Amino acid sequence: MSTKRSDTAARWLGPEEEHAWRAYRRMVTVVQARTAQDLAELGLSEPDYEVLSTLSERSDGSGALREQAAKMEWSRSRLSRHATRMEARGLIRRAPDPDDGRGCLLVLTEMGLDTLRQAAPTHVASVRRHFVDQLDPQELAVLGRIAAKLAGEPEDSL
């Protein structure tokens, strides 16, 4: 870590900017905590659900660990450790990645798919209760555009 001071003065946040930033951080924290609690009651974490739902969207129920890690903004080693725990619970299995001799594929098991099918209605109800139903359609549309913009993705990619 460098201890050199930057020659550029900090562009401090103005009151409105700081308010927006803090409101955004609070929104993310609250919504994420509430939906995570609802998943926890089913014995799943948010990362568990993310991995299961992503794999279920693929025709063969599998995906490269490196791609999943990138999607989740996790390191490969962090996801690998998490996948080991999911594998021990029978939710996924690993297979060799034909495109990356050092990597592996995460493969959705029948138990993982059943778990996802059971959890999905509760999860979507949670997302509705803590997020979607709190906003009117116009607010939801604007927030969708803002989220895509901040994530650096086209609006229709989400």
pLDDT tens series, the chain, 158 aa: 455 565 678 999 999 999 999 999 999 999 999 999 999 999 999 999 999 999 999 999 999 999 999 999 999 999 999 999 999 999 999 999 998 888 899 999 999 999 999 999 999 999 999 999 999 999 999 999 999 999 888 756 54
**Which one, of 52, 76, 64, lies nearest residue 105 by Cα?**
64
Question: What is the Cα–Cα distance from 28 to 33, expressed in whole angstroms?
Answer: 8
Number of Cβ within 10 Å of residue 120's Cβ equals: 15
Q: Which residue has the tokens 């409105």?
A: 16
